[in-house]
């Protein structure tokens, strides 16, 4: 399953295209400005060269000539970065001096008598400044050209000089946005941590005075939901509990009446009444389990002191000895001192259900051992029996309500292990089923977390 992106990433992904668009627009603008600045600056320099060449033209008997010594010409045409070319010709196209590869412009001169244009010499692009002038009655065209190295360098220097601060501004903006979003979402993280620390039984309203207005509205709705959920669960618990309590009295009366009828019945009637008595006993057990299940549903957070688990096992074990003896089961205990945080009543229900299940489904003569161990990882309560065990394929289903193995005997109702898992989960524990290495039957183990140290 694809992991959803965070709100921070979504905001940045939405801001990034706009920032990139601004960066591209800024780059194009900066390039245009840089190119224009370079063209203007170096076109003026070329025009100065053309003016200097025009000033060196003289008219003699043989016509116009360029009176420019070789040394002066070398100085004029020497450049550190670019190659410089020139050409002087008359208006009718007769060359006076210079490089004939440099062609005059195709367009007519402007009012100022100058034209700037792009050309090529031997496949290399050049920029040309054309000066149209008249000297001693002779119309002249003076061309000065150079390659584009300096212009490109200046363009990139101006472009980088404008873009680098812009990139820094975008990076700083993204960092500020990330910091601002993180700061704005910190109350949401606090809310998430508050909810993560809660147990399933903790349904009291969330206290969030420092949250922003938007998150406070969400918190208010969550609190309303928690209140409705608490009321619904409370109504459910009371309904099951009240119904079970109401059923106990008529069931007890029916049980007593069937036992009285058994005493005065004939042998044939006794067989029928014995079946009815067994059904009533199963019904009474089911009502008792429903009461336990109602108590095991999430309720208010536990505030009781830690429970002495060994004392609970001994107390429940004493109550289970008579039914174990009647069923031909040898009930043994191996207990270490251990404490568990939670409700003593519910923990005793866990112990009673585990022992009762083992007794019900272990054929006589059989053995049931209750083992209590305590270590750094927590408390382990293990109930082993010598019965047929639980098949691996059914070890998940047995925790479902009202599920019973088809081949199982006994008169259970399929709620015992569901109650055990519910109460264990409510106390932060886990339930697992394995094989009893010593007795050969089932081994049901409940692990409770260690009791947290009390604040001193």
pTM for this one? 0.47
How confident is the model at residue 12, as a pLDDT?
A: 73
Average pLDDT per 10 consecutive residues for the chain, totaling 456 residues: 67 77 78 77 83 79 74 74 86 82 78 82 88 80 87 79 78 79 76 75 70 74 84 73 69 77 74 72 67 57 74 89 89 90 83 87 89 87 87 77 62 70 83 80 88 58
CB 119 within 8 A of CB 40: no
How confident is the model at residue 378, as a pLDDT?
A: 85
How confident is the model at residue 408, as a pLDDT?
A: 59
Q: Peptide bond before 365: cis, by omega within 30 degrees of 0? A: yes
How confident is the model at residue 456, as a pLDDT?
A: 41
Q: Give the domains, in start order, of the chain with CATH numbers.
A: 7-155 (3.30.450), 198-301 (1.10.287.130), 302-448 (3.30.565.10)
How confident is the model at residue 372, as a pLDDT?
A: 92
């Amino acid at each position: 399953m694809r992991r959803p992106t965070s709100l921070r990433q979504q905001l940045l992904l939405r801001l990034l295209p706009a920032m990139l668009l601004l960066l591209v627009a800024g780059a194009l603008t900066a390039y245009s400005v840089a190119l224009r600045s370079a063209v203007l600056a170096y076109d003026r320099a070329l025009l100065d060269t053309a003016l200097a060449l025009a000033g060196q033209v003289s008219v003699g008997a043989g016509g116009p000539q360029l009176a420019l010594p070789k040394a002066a010409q070398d100085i004029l045409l020497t450049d550190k970065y670019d190659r410089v070319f020139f050409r002087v010709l008359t208006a009718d196209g007769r060359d006076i001096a210079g490089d004939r590869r440099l062609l005059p412009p195709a367009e007519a001169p402007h009012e100022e008598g100058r034209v700037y244009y792009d050309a090529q010499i031997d496949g290399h692009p050049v920029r040309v400044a054309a000066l149209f002038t008249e000297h001693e009655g002779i119309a002249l065209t003076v061309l000065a050209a150079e390659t584009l190295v300096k212009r490109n360098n200046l363009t990139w220097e101006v472009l980088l000089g404008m873009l680098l601060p812009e990139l820094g501004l975008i990076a700083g903006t993204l960092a500020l946005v990330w910091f601002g979003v993180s700061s704005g979402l910190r109350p949401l993280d606090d809310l998430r941590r508050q909810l993560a620390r809660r147990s399933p039984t903790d349904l009291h309203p969330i206290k969030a005075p420092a949250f922003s207005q938007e998150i406070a509205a969400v918190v208010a709705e969550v609190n309303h939901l928690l209140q409705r959920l608490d009321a619904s669960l409370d109504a459910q618990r009371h309904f099951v509990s009240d119904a079970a309590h109401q059923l106990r009295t008529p069931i007890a009366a029916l049980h007593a009446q069937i036992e009285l009828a058994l005493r005065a019945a004939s042998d044939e009637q006794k067989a029928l009444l014995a079946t009815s008595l067994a059904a009533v006993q199963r019904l009474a057990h089911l009502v008792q389990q429903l009461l336990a299940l109602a108590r095991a549903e999430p309720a208010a957070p536990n505030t009781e002191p830690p429970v002495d688990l060994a004392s609970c096992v001994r107390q429940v074990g004493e109550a289970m000895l008579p039914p174990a003896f009647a069923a031909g089961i040898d009930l043994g205990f191996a207990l270490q001192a251990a404490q568990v945080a939670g409700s003593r009543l519910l923990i005793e229900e866990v112990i009673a259900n585990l022992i009762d299940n083992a007794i019900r489904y272990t054929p006589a003569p059989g053995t049931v051992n209750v083992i209590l161990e305590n270590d750094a990882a927590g408390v382990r309560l293990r109930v082993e029996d010598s019965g047929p065990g639980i098949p691996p394929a059914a070890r998940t289903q047995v925790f479902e309500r009202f599920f019973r193995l088809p081949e199982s005997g006994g008169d259970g109702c399929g709620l015992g292990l569901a109650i055990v898992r519910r109460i264990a989960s409510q106390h932060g524990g886990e339930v697992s089923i394995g094989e009893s290495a010593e007795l050969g039957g089932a081994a049901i183990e409940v692990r409770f977390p260690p009791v947290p140290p009390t604040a001193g």
